[in-house]
Amino acid sequence: MPNWFVHDKWAKKAGIDEFIAYYVNRNIDYGTSWAYPENYDSSHYNNNENIAIQQLQFFYQKDLDNANDDQNSYVKAFILHHLLDYFRETRVNINDINLVFEKFLQNKVIIEISDSKGNKIDFQKEMGEIFNLLRDNKNELYEDLRGKYFTDSQNPI
């Protein structure tokens, strides 16, 4: 099962619009430069910041710009994408899902950014929703990940 199928399936389970999931996956996998209009002013982004922080700021802004989306779908898709990739990348025992979540928070993703006014924006709620979705559907998650998503040495079963 290709990576995109796993990402799309779980995005749908998380209530993330198909277009948003595709947009976020494409931005993370191929970079965000194609997503910006030619006249885009990137001066409010610190280009020396970690790419994950830049991505999270970008997707948070997309959620703010999308007045019809009060669920932070872009941010949730960002978290989901990185977490599913982390399952494949980690050397942690993935059968201990809580340990995977703990290490993911320590090593892979940030859950707080500052806006242009210096206000802290926290994404613990969205992170918790994604963690709970995967934890509540752990057997199905492992079944999906077992296919071509894992190499033979990573296969959990």
Q: Which DSSP string do the residues of 13-78 spell out, in sequence order?
A: HTT--HHHHHHHHHHHHH-SGGGS-TT---TTS-TTS-HHHHHHHHHHHHHHH-TT--S-HHHHHH
CA distance 128 to 130: 5
Burial class (CB in 10 A: 0-12, 13-18, 19+), 108: middle
Query: Which pLDDT does position 80 carry in this prediction?
Result: 94
pTM for the whole thing?
A: 0.80
Is residue 84 a contact partner of residue 26, using CB atoms and an 8 Å limit?
Answer: no
Is residue 34 a contact partner of residue 90, using CB atoms and an 8 Å limit?
Answer: no
Query: Which pLDDT does position 140 carry in this prediction?
Result: 92
Query: Which pLDDT does position 37 carry in this prediction?
Result: 55
Query: Which pLDDT does position 49 carry in this prediction?
Result: 56
Tell me the pLDDT of the chain (157 aa) as tens digits: 345 556 788 999 999 988 899 999 888 888 766 455 555 555 544 454 578 888 888 898 899 888 766 678 999 999 999 999 999 888 889 889 999 999 999 988 888 888 778 889 999 999 999 999 999 999 999 888 876 545 445 554 4
